[in-house]
Amino acid sequence: MRESTQSHPDTLGVHAGREDFAELGVHAPPLDLSTTYPVRDLDVGTASFDALVGGEAKAANPIYARLHNPTVARFEDALATLEGTSDAVAFGSGMAAMSACLLAAGQRGKHVLGVRPLYGTSDHLMNSGLLGIKTHWVEPGEIAAAINDDTALVVIETPANPTLDLIDIAAVVKAARGVPVLVDSTFATPVLQQPAALGATLVLHSATKFIGGHGDVIAGVVACNAEWASALRQVRAATGGLLHPLGAYLLHRGLQTLGLRVRQAQANAQYVAERLVKHPAVAKVCYPGLGTVANAHLVGTQMRGPGSLLAFEMHGGHAAAAAVMSAVRLATPAVSLGSVDTLIQHPAGLTHRVVDAETQRRHGITPGLLRLSVGIEHADDIWADLEQALDAARQAEAA
């Protein structure tokens, strides 16, 4: 992270990671696609290798792209600035980032606490035992009592995927009593929420989503302190979960418009949510901006706004939800979120299908639930498309 972080987040998004451009004489970030780097001095090369494998952020010689890439490092520096942390470590996907966090935590202990709901694949990975950890699932109020000497990490996601429930990050950090807390902040982005300022140790983003913002790059990134960054770089170097430099270039570019995109999509989501609650085909709407999710009071304090994700329950269950997905024309029926265009998907049948049915039910992931990632199209056009799809589903159910 650079020294000066007093500017508005919108300004930081435009300028972070670009502080040396005047010295370089460039206006756009250099893109370094090298897979390997010449070693003219073997002693320097050997020392650089040891430093990078040991988790250092940089060395005199990059040696090999699995160990360091300057384009990736620029993006990491910019994201750390936006999150207010000393470091950030980027990965080839959000799940590679999550895996690295769990592997690094596993060096401290084998017991992890998780609060549901989480993104379905995160839930699946943590529940599988695949990485040698044992996950104990708790409610936020149960964290303090569930911690033991082997607890290495507490994992939460807020806003939650897909129900949009909010969790009080500062309260979780206090309950964790010094155990590191990982916050998946993908839905909020650094524009709306900065978990590190509330005491979180690790702030994870599926950068595929809002940070990239255009549906053309898969990536993950973790903002954290120097100690955790070193551990995560060691995992990345050993496992190869690296981010391609072209992806880093696109993500760094995406940060320049992140604030604009998030706020426009958020305004559209509020507009759409207020109309969804009035449609006769819709049983309920889950959106922080309506006050219809857990801890909605955190909007305006923990979060700067309600965001652009919402979920809604269809009268008619699975059949009605499927009918809506088939009937949309402007919105894209697809997984993922945070793109400039509106996406709609069915959590129980897609993103959370790997979560067992009882856990889905207990956490509100029902057959009739649809998750909507509202884009930056004109709000009237988004609503017109949804309205005709809802009407079509209702007519189909009546028939």
- Asked if residue 301 and residue 242 are part of one domain, the reply reads no
Active site residue 209: yes
Q: Is 42 a domain residue?
A: no
Which of 37, 64, 119, 249 is catalytic? The answer is 119
pLDDT surpassing 90 at residue 31: yes
Q: Is 48 a domain residue?
A: no
Mean pLDDT of the chain: 96
- Asked if residue 144 and residue 170 are part of one domain, the reply reads yes
- Asked if residue 304 and residue 363 are part of one domain, the reply reads yes
Write the secondary structure of the chain as one string of H (helix), E (strand) and C (coil). CCCCCCCCHHHHHHHCCCCCHHHHCCCCCCCCCCCECCCCCHHHHHHHHHHHHCCCCCCCCCCECCCCCHHHHHHHHHHHHHHCCCEEEEECCHHHHHHHHHHHHCCCCCEEEECCCCCHHHHHHHHHCCCCCEEEECCHHHHHHHCCCCEEEEEEECCCCCCCCCCCHHHHHHHHCCCCEEEECCCCHHHHCCHHHHCCCEEEECCCCCCCCCCCCCCEEEEECHHHHHHHHHHHHHHCCCCCHHHHHHHHHHHCCHHHHHHHHHHHHHHHHHHHCCCCCEEEEECHHHCCCCCHHHECCCECCCCCEEEEEECCHHHHHHHHHHHCCCCEECCCCCCCCCEEECCCCCCCCCCCHHHHHHCCCCCCEEEEECCCCCHHHHHHHHHHHHHHHHHHHHC
Residues 269, 307 contacting (CB under 8 angstroms): yes
| Residue-wise pLDDT tens digits, 209-243 | 999 999 999 999 999 999 999 999 999 999 999 99
Q: Whole-angstrom Cα distance, residue 249 to residue 28?
A: 10
Closest to 88 in 3D by CA, of 228, 246, 291, 265 = 228
What is the pLDDT at residue 5? Answer: 55
Which of 77, 87, 123, 184 is catalytic? The answer is 184
**Res. 2 pLDDT band, cuts 50 70 90:** very low
- Asked if residue 372 and residue 316 are part of one domain, the reply reads yes
Structural domain containing residue 316 = 259-398
- Asked if residue 284 and residue 337 are part of one domain, the reply reads yes
- Asked if residue 268 and residue 235 are part of one domain, the reply reads no
Question: Where is the domain boundary, 255, 286, 314?
Answer: 255
20-24, 191-195, 262-266, 379-383: the lowest-pLDDT one = 20-24
Q: Is 199 a domain residue?
A: yes
44-48, 64-68, 394-398: the lowest-pLDDT one = 394-398
Active site residue 119: yes
pLDDT surpassing 60 at residue 388: yes
| Residue-wise pLDDT tens digits, 74-111 | 999 999 999 999 999 999 999 999 999 999 999 999 99
Q: What angle do CA 95, 99, 105 make, to 5 degrees?
A: 145
Global pTM reads: 0.96
- Asked if residue 302 and residue 162 are part of one domain, the reply reads no
Residues 160, 166 contacting (CB under 8 angstroms): yes
Q: Is 62 a domain residue?
A: no
Q: What angle do CA 342, 344, 349 make, to 5 degrees?
A: 160
- Asked if residue 232 and residue 209 are part of one domain, the reply reads yes
Q: Is 102 a domain residue?
A: yes
What is the pLDDT at residue 23? Answer: 93
pLDDT surpassing 80 at residue 399: no
What are the distances in angstroms from CA 398 to CA 157, 182, 215, 315, 375? 38, 46, 36, 11, 30
Q: How many domains does the chain have?
A: 2
Question: Where is the domain boundary, 255, 281, 309?
Answer: 255
Q: Is 44 a domain residue?
A: no
What are the distances in angstroms from CA 186 to CA 9, 28, 150, 159, 195? 17, 26, 28, 8, 11
Handedness of CA 320, 326, 328, 333 (dihedral sign): positive
Which of 74, 116, 209, 371 is catalytic? The answer is 209
pLDDT surpassing 60 at residue 363: yes
Q: Is 328 a domain residue?
A: yes
- Asked if residue 220 and residue 136 are part of one domain, the reply reads yes
What is the pLDDT at residue 3? Answer: 43
- Asked if residue 318 and residue 182 are part of one domain, the reply reads no
| Residue-wise pLDDT tens digits, 234-273 | 999 999 999 999 999 999 999 999 999 999 999 999 999 9
- Domain of 313, CATH number, reads 3.90.1150.10
Question: Where is the domain boundary, 255, 272, 303?
Answer: 255
Which of 10, 32, 66, 110 is catalytic? The answer is 66
pLDDT surpassing 50 at residue 170: yes
- Domain of 237, CATH number, reads 3.40.640.10
- Asked if residue 364 and residue 236 are part of one domain, the reply reads no
Q: Whole-angstrom Cα distance, residue 190 to residue 186?
A: 9
Q: Is 157 a domain residue?
A: yes
Q: Whole-angstrom Cα distance, residue 302 to residue 273?
A: 21
Active site residue 184: yes
- Asked if residue 250 and residue 155 are part of one domain, the reply reads yes
